[in-house]
A and B are shown apart, each in its own frame.
Chain A
Amino acid sequence: MANTDRQVPPAWNAVGRHGVFPEANHDEIARFNFLTNLNMHLASRVLPGVRKAYDKRIEGTTAPSSRREVGELLRREPLYQLWSSLRRNTMEMRQQNSRAMVFRQLPDLIEKARQLNDGHDNLQMNPAVEIPRYVSAVDTHCMPGSYHTEYCDDDVAAGANYDSGIFVTTAGMLGRYSDGGGQALVEWLREEAKSGYRPKRILDIGCTVGHNIVPLAQAFPDTEILAIDVSAPVLRYAHARARSLGIDNITFRQENAESIAAEDGSFDLIITCMFLHETSNLALPRILAETHRLLANGGKVVHIEQPQFTPDMPPYEQFMRDWDTRNNNEPFWGTLHDLDLFEAMAQAGFARENITTRNLFAVVDETLFPSAAKAAADSEDYGRKPAWHTYIASK
């Protein structure tokens, strides 16, 4: 058959449902399916064309030596303009589609969350927590209202929107519960356990809907987990989501990562998952300092992030990886990738020789998501691929 080698993303129907997940009708699912395939098409069919157009433009001239120069060339390139505009539109459409689905059933979602949340002290809200400017200044990922906006009492809309749409942005490659990052951490921890590292208390900073921490709670039910975020609607949703998945060893707490109410050395493992790039130059050292303060001796901090930009990374790749900074409302994305994270972690108190980095790939059920494994191996989407760098510091 002619099309057997074509990657086909899973239909959105494969998405994992839980007690507070929005109910989707036929056409809502079809909208997500269209966008998932459009995202894959843009990455696999149009983006290579942008590269060809770039190569043609620099043919016979001196190749740009910086990503700024690459940008000057590409901004005039029609194919790049088209790819960028389409990619931006997939983000906006993904938000509109999932918000339409969420808002039409919001009172039901709030009620479901209430029933799962009420009377449980594992959800600790603190309305006094101020939303930092790095969260409120622009709406991350073109997500109107970002993570924090509350449209009504006990709102969970931001959580439901984020949880239901992330499958589309990642073309399903983070798995049923969009937890491929968390599942990868579980695999890593099982490896580490062989040499005796078995954390009993875990902290997840910037947990949003808890999709990355729930797999750890499932795999290690005896661990005590604290998951923090500044945004109320995602926390209410996260707690209800975890409860409906049978989890009771995570406490979700509204808290600012720059100043965490916990005693020194409280945790054996501290993780952040695609979080550091959503902070700021002022906040980052404070957050890293907190991780050092809160980590017990013998413990580890793991940051899952995009790769750092190094002089070895070709300017074209740097420019493409920087696209989201300006075009997908990720203002700190490029700055962070230029920072020396090793140095920043060292300044936070970690001994340089105790900091390492390694690659991490999303771990997903390959019977349901056969395309995910293949995509991890053979495609590049400059930031959307379910493959990351981890920065690991030991104390």
Chain B
Amino acid sequence: MTFDAIDMAGNKARGKRPTFFKDTDTDRLLSILMALAGELAVARERIDTLERLLEARNLLKQTDIEGYVPDTTAARERGLWHQEFIARILRVVQQEIEQFDEDREAQQQARRENVSASTELEELIEELASS
């Protein structure tokens, strides 16, 4: 008897899956987001278990964690960690802002070289293929 427990766990239930949002992409994204939120909760619970076990074995007190003050080096490293973490989560916003610059540059180039100002990939593929 061989099973792929990972695939089988995720099997679809028979019966068409309902969607709730105007755009079904939102339904899909929310499913992924909630799965991620669940896994984050699992990781937090595991850390909590660790802290409690360490305390029970007198290796650490949870008050030590609450009272911990980072020194300058640690504070800088943590700050950078936070910044990277936030940048990862908000990548899509960063890229949306960068698109403004890309559009402006494309327009300038279009004026200079008499080419399409579009940065739509489909149009670019067509343009490249026909030029």
Contact = CB atoms under 8 A, between A and B. Distances in A.
A92 B34 CA distance: 11
A141 B49 CA distance: 32
Contacts of A106: 1, 3, 5
B14 A137 contact: yes
Contacts of B9: 96-97, 99-100, 103
Interface string A321-335: 000001101010000
A186 to B, nearest CB: 33
B1 A89 contact: no
Interface in B1-28: 1, 3, 5-6, 8-15, 17-18, 20-21, 26-27
B46 interface: yes
Interface string B92-108: 00000000000000000
A106 B8 CA distance: 12
Contacts of A81: 20-21
Contact of A30 (B8, B30, B45): B45
A71 interface: no
B11 A99 contact: yes
Contacts, number: 100
Contacts of B80: none
Interface stretch (A115-123, A142-150, A200-208): A142-150
Contacts of A370: none
A229 B77 CA distance: 61
B87 interface: no
A27 B46 contact: yes
B59 to A, nearest CB: 19
Interface residues of A, number: 44
B60 interface: no
Contacts of B54: none
A259 interface: no
B41 interface: yes
Report which residue of A30, A100, A138 has the largest number of chain B beta carbons within 10 angstroms of its beta carbon: A30
A326 B35 CA distance: 22
Contacts of A137: 14-15
B109 interface: no
Nearest to A95: B13
B68 to A, nearest CB: 23
Given A81-B21, A103-B3, A31 B38 contact: yes
A382 interface: no
Contacts of B10: 96, 99
A92 B35 CA distance: 10
Contacts of A84: 18, 20
Contacts of B38: 31, 34-35, 38, 93
A84 to B, nearest CB: 5
Interface in B31-78: 31, 34-35, 37-38, 41-42, 45-46, 49
Contact of B41 (A30, A151, A327): A30
A100 B38 CA distance: 15
Given A26-B49, A31-B42, A86-B34, A138 B18 contact: no
B1 A152 contact: yes
A395 to B, nearest CB: 37
Interface of B: 1, 3, 5-6, 8-15, 17-18, 20-21, 26-27, 30-31, 34-35, 37-38, 41-42, 45-46, 49
9 pairs of A and B residues whose beta carbons are closest in the complex: A138-B15, A100-B9, A103-B5, A139-B13, A30-B45, A144-B11, A34-B41, A142-B13, A30-B42
Given A85-B30, A103-B3, A151-B3, 11 more contacts: A27-B46, A85-B31, A93-B34, A93-B35, A96-B10, A99-B5, A103-B9, A104-B5, A107-B1, A136-B14, A151-B8
17 contacts: A30-B41, A30-B46, A35-B38, A38-B38, A84-B20, A88-B17, A88-B18, A90-B34, A103-B5, A103-B8, A136-B14, A141-B13, A142-B13, A144-B14, A151-B3, A151-B8, A329-B15
